[in-house]
Structure 1
Amino acid sequence: MEVQILSRKLIAPSSPTPPHLQNLKVSCFDQLAPSIYLPCIFYYPADGENNEKRSKEMEKSLAETLSLFYPLGGRYIKDEFSVECNDMGAEFLEAKVGGFLSQLLEREERESEMASHLVAPLFQAENSPLVIVQFNMFACGGLAIGISIAHRIADAFTIGTFINAWATACRIGSEKVHCRPSFQLGSLFPPKEMPSSSATAPGTDIKIIRRRFVFDGHTLSKLKAIARGGDSEQLVKHHPSRVEVVTALIWMALS
């Protein structure tokens, strides 16, 4: 499948960052983080909605979310161990994918091969945006949204919180986002002078092992029924989503 980049733009925070927050020192823990980007890909089947309209909605809600997560709209200054919160923005790409989403998901080896084309590269220049979004539109109307965030400024929890806040803003409005993140870890654990190390990034010959778990519609329905406790005892007070029941199952298996 061919991936063609249609447009590329910067999405700035909807509200400017106050002057007293425009320079953020990273913590000594983030100082040691490798200069890589952590990628996520979210797949959505076609449902008849206009993807161009969705892209505009995502751009608008991304700008609003970046106002809350203001460091993600800045640039990392390597020599100063800090983020310049200058509102230069996140990068937003629109791409056209030749083929159907189902063709990609039905074959694991094809998905593994295509994954690197649906998100930004693992390594970026030091002055690159800290968040890069690629909005991939398939011929069938399906979507694959690739999100890459610099590990220097965000760990897995931060990324999850940011994506959840962005999804809420896009779905029901930014006023419904109750998350008010704090970025004061650098003041509690400031960066330190350390000998430079060349081993900040893994070599290109390192093999990455992936595991793929597929849950079809029938299986998801059974998991939801179990979570709801069937027709008698109700184990949860709300109807869990597909993501919630799968996450709960994996968490239970790992516990």
Structure 2
Amino acid sequence: MGEEYGIISKETIKPSFPTPIHLQHFKLSFLDQLAPSFRVPILLFYSASDVTTFAATDISALSQKLKTSLSEVLTLYYPFCGRLRDSSIIECNDEGVLFIHSKLPIELSNILKNPQLHTLCELLPCPPYNLQPQQRDTSGIMAVQLSQFKCGGIALGVCFSHKIADASTAASFLNAWAATSRGHGNGNLVPPLMEEASLLFPPRNISVDMTSGMVGQEKTVTKRFIFSGSSISRLRQTIGCPSFNPSRVEAVTTLLWKSSLEAAKESIDCGEEKIVASGVSHTVNIRSRMVPSLSKHSIGNIWQYAVSSLVEVEGEVGLRDLAERMRETIGKVDGDYIKKLQSDEFVEVVEAIEGARRLAEQKGIRGYGFTSWVGFEFYEVDFGWGKPIYASTIPVPIKNLGTLMSTKDGDGIEAWLTLTTRDMARLEHNAELLNFASFDS
């Protein structure tokens, strides 16, 4: 008989100690309420040599270690095993976290050479993006899938509800879980700051869906672009001048914005309205921008959208012009902006973001959105058999959106970008982009 593939087991992992009664109703913050009804997906890949050294041929011991340490760490991250009851409360009832163990008839090396979106999705315990808001998600706050490859390597796919977790929260949780797995008891962990966000940004009586209208009828395609550390240095020098030195993220995002915009302008058919203006939005982690600043172990959606003013693009648009606009946009999310979010002026901020989204839907205007996970410590997640050889996410399959992550060496950036099929076909031949980036065919 041949080897069996597919799901080996499904289990619900509950915290090793019940959540105390006084913690059983966890308040979401106002920023959590604004977060999309998606999941935050993360995939961590570990090499066969590291796994075999740790577990020999017995993968069930490794699986059990993951489950035991997950059960322990959930006592600190108690809302993660609860259920969302309405727009502002998680009922921390210890219903648990789904843990799937599966076996796949593919080699890890095939994925590492050329990660394909549909294959990566199979390594996750649930579909991360619910693009139909009316379909209520009744599954848990968090779910895990351990996948074994033919070669002996493994992938750990984790999905967190975006209603309580951003990328920083995901990195913080995974590193705490890994430390517990390595034998550092909960007493030795930096405790997560669970209530901080809802105290600083109390929930509001609002109902906002920032993603409504984003899903169009056009066919989209997602590709991964790799920028090495040396390429990013060249790009920063190309854009910079004595008075302006873009950051790595600003430089890469600006080039992707400019190249995507040029592709869109080239792919317009006769009779279609010309693109005359463009804008960009970028997510900004506000933990370090608050006074006093918040710890990276503060749990929740402690980020905001920075939305640019429109740039006229009928003629040639320079990289530096767009980079300066990017810097100005991200710089708007400062102490004063955060104070507005905390006061009754929060309505103005929400209306401005909603207005920018509506504006981007107008003909002749092309809007692009980016989120950066650069700098979050996904490559540090060591459960006892070594650090990941590759860490990735699954980008949102909505046109004109990009997600940036660090490469393993910490110097490069990997960008997943979703465009219409037509625009992507043009983008793949953009000489300026190809001077700095390589992409998967």
Distance in 2 between residues matched to 1:187 and 1:93, nearest whole Å: 35
Paired position in structure 2 for 1:121: 127
Give the one of 163, 175, 194 matched to 1:164: 175
Q: Cα RMSD (Å) of the superposition?
A: 2.9
- Measure the CA separation in 2 of the matches of 1:191 and 1:162: 23
Structure 1 unaligned segments of length 5 or more: list them: 216-239
**1:178 paired residue among 184, 189, 202:** 189
Give 1:174 deviation, angstroms.
2.6
Q: Deviations over 1:150-192 (max 9, x none)?
A: 1100111111110000111112343464221122122332211
Match for residue 192 of structure 1 among 197, 204, 220:
204
Match of 1:57 in 2: 65
Candidates 81, 106, 109, aligned match of 1:102? 109
In 1, are the aligned partners of 2:19 and 2:75 still within 8 Å (CA)? yes
Partner of 1:38: 40
Work out which of the residue numbers 6, 19, 27 in structure 2 matches 1:4.
6
Distance 1:213 1:89, change over 3 A: farther
Residue of structure 1 equivalent to 2:100: 93
Rounded to whole Å, the distance in 2 between the matches of 1:212 and 1:51 is: 33
SS at match of 2:190: coil
Hey, what's the Cα distance between the residues in 2 that align with 1:60 and 1:190?
Answer: 34
Instruction: Kindly indicate whether residue 85 of structure 2 is the aligned counterpart of residue 77 of structure 1.
Output: yes
Maintained 8 Å contact 1:35/1:200: no
1:248, distance to aligned residue in structure 2 (A): 3.8
Residues 212 and 9 of structure 1, relative CA distance in 2, 3 Å threshold: farther
Aligned pair 1:249/2:411, yes or no? Answer: yes
Is residue 98–residue 138 contact of structure 1 (8 Å, CA) maintained in 2?
A: yes
Cα pair distance change 1:137/1:242, threshold 3 Å: closer
Comparing 144-153 with 96-105, greater Cα deviation is found at 96-105
Contact 1:74 1:129 in 2 (8 A): yes
Q: Does 1:211 align with 2:225?
A: yes
- Runs of 5+ consecutive residues of structure 2 not aligned to the other structure: 131-135, 230-379, 381-385, 389-405, 414-441
Alignment-derived partner of residue 13 in structure 1: 15
SS in 2 for 1:187: helix
Measure the CA separation in 1 of the matches of 2:90 and 2:387: 37
- Correspondences of 1:215-226 after superposition (within 5 Å): none
Q: CA deviation at 1:101?
A: 1.1
The residue type equivalent to 1:97 in the other structure is: L
Contact 1:77/1:127 (<8 A) preserved = no
Deviation at 1:3, TM superposition (A): 6.7
Distance 2:163 2:45 in 1: 26
1:250 Cα deviation from its structure 2 partner: 3.8
Structure 2 Cα separation of the partners of residues 148 and 9 of structure 1 = 16
Structure with larger RCO (C-alpha < 8 A, sep 6+): 1
TM-score (norm 1): 0.77
Q: Is the 8 A contact 1:169 1:176 kept in 2?
A: no
Per-residue CA deviations over 1:60-92 (Å, capped at 9, x if unaligned) read 00011111111111111125x111011111110
Kindly indicate whether the alpha-carbon contact (under 8 Å) linking 1:11 and 1:59 is maintained by their aligned counterparts in 2.
yes
Percent identity (aligned):
33
Deviates more, 1:136-145 or 1:120-129: 120-129
Partner of 2:156: 145
Superposed displacement of residue 103, structure 1? 2.3
Structure 1 residues 155 and 197, CA gap change in structure 2 (3 angstroms): closer
* Partner SS for 1:58: helix
Task: Specify the structure having the higher radius of gyration (Cα).
Answer: 2
- Which string of whole-angstrom CA distances, capped at 9 and with x for unpartnered residues, describes residues 82-135 of structure 1? 110111111100111012211222234xx3330110012114653211111100
Shift of residue 41 of structure 1?
Answer: 0.7
